[in-house]
A = this chain, B = another copy of it.
Amino acid sequence: MSSQQARTTARLREMIWNGAFAPGERITESALASALGVSRTPVRVALSLLEQEGLVSGTPNRGFRVEAYSVDDISDAIDVRGTLEGMAARLVAEKGLPRHTAMELRRCLEIGDRIIQKKLVTGDDASDYGEMNERFHCAIVEASGNKALENGLDLTHKLPFVSPQTVAIHESIDTKRQMTVAQTQHWLIVEALENGEGARAEALMREHANVSKQALNVIGASIESGEHPMPPSLRIVTA
């Protein structure tokens, strides 16, 4: 893939992530092309690729529109993510936790603790929690050594709402509690990994995803009831 192709795809993906389009909004190739300062050619393949990623959907001769999701769709995706990461955790525990992965995970735990401490005191936003969370999960998946697994998860990663940082960053009703629970689970997961408890690690990781799902439901409900506005990065439509 060429430099421009790749850049265009990445930029468009980013735009969709950041809510540059309304859910279901139509994307015309020429408009997007001129907006990005490139020709239609790279835009076309970008759209095709993003279609496979599930960010847009196209119909023959009628172009593309950005995909809209129901809360259930997202919940399903989180389920898949949890299952795959659970598998990763089990593999890592069974094959033995590599030294550098163990250190990375410890580092993440520390960072998480610090962020939460600060958050509880100062109350400022904890957007760096998402970054740490991302590192935590990636480290485990990488350590699993299963390339297919990595690819599969990469795909769910491309869906913005499943991306851990998005879920974490999102201003949920009770971010503090969210983070505390997640952090506790991270500790338990590392414990299981270090002790080589495969089944437990898998179960914990699934439960970890379950918490995300619950948070999602709370968020979804609060959006549907109009209590909170829908952030543009979550392109949810109420089914």
In the complex, A77 has a CB within 8 A of chain B: yes
Q: Is the contact region of chain A dominated by helix, strand, or loop, or is it mixed?
A: helix
Question: A48-B45, A52-B49, A87-B83 given as contacts; is B1 within 8 A of A148 (CB)?
Answer: no
Copies in the complex: 2
Residues of B within 8 A of A156 (CB): 148, 152
- Contact check, B76 vs A146: say whether CB atoms are below 8 A apart: yes
- Contact check, B146 vs A60: say whether CB atoms are below 8 A apart: no
- Contact check, B147 vs A79: say whether CB atoms are below 8 A apart: no
A143-181 interface bits toward B, Cβ cutoff 8 Å, 1 = contact, 0 = none = 000111101100110000000000000000000000000
In the complex, A51 has a CB within 8 A of chain B: yes
Residues of B within 8 A of A225 (CB): none
In this complex, what residue of B is CB-closest to A151?
B54
In the complex, A73 has a CB within 8 A of chain B: yes
A53 to chain B, nearest CB (A): 8
In the complex, A84 has a CB within 8 A of chain B: yes
A221 to chain B, nearest CB (A): 21
Bound CA span A61–B5, Å:
11
Q: Which 6 A-B pairs have the closest CB atoms?
A: A77-B148, A76-B146, A76-B148, A83-B87, A80-B148, A45-B45
Q: A52-B52, A83-B83 are in contact. List 13 more A-B contacts (CB 8 A).
A: A1-B48, A1-B51, A2-B61, A48-B48, A49-B52, A52-B53, A73-B148, A76-B148, A79-B87, A79-B146, A79-B149, A80-B149, A152-B155
Residues of A within 8 A of B (CB): 1-3, 5-6, 41, 44-45, 48-49, 51-54, 58, 60-61, 73, 76-77, 79-80, 83-84, 87, 146-149, 151-152, 155-156
